[in-house]
Amino acid sequence: MASVTINVLDPEFYVDAWQAYRWLRDEAPLYWDPVQKLWVISRYEDVLGVEKDIGRYSSSEGSRPLVDQREDMSMINMDDPAHQEQRRLTTGTASGSGPAMRFSCCTGRPTVTRGYSPTRTCST
């Protein structure tokens, strides 16, 4: 595995990434992806440390390398407190206690609803 180049943004990587993730955690917890030109952090505690250190690490210029995402207002491209404000919109979606963002089968557009109804159908 050590001689293999891992491209963490390649969709094929995620088909069966268990062995690669294990290698990353055990052998290269801080890994340079030479294809995407980004650092990969693979240990949970390290990821939490980066997420909480907003003075040193930022998502405000985007979450993907080589693409200018400064205008993309997706939650993943926000730092706190804006990130947490967006995150609160999805809190409780699994239990049905909070608003849910879902893809509408009726309109084909994302919608925000209160609660989650897996049985809701469209009358089109």
Distance CA(43)–CA(26), nearest Å, equals: 9
Judge whether 86 lies within some domain.
no
Judge whether 51 lies within some domain.
yes
Judge whether 101 lies within some domain.
no
Judge whether 5 lies within some domain.
yes
Judge whether 40 lies within some domain.
yes
Q: Is 43's pLDDT higher than 90? A: yes
Judge whether 108 lies within some domain.
no
The number of domains in the chain is 1
| Residue-range definition of the domain harbouring residue 1 | 1-57
Which pLDDT score is estimated for 31? 92
Which pLDDT score is estimated for 66? 66
Which pLDDT score is estimated for 28? 92
Q: What is the pTM of this model?
A: 0.57
**Predicted confidence (pLDDT) per residue in 67-100, tens digit:** 776 677 777 777 888 888 888 887 765 555 554 4
Which pLDDT score is estimated for 93? 54
Judge whether 15 lies within some domain.
yes
Longest alpha-carbon distance in the chain: 54
Judge whether 11 lies within some domain.
yes
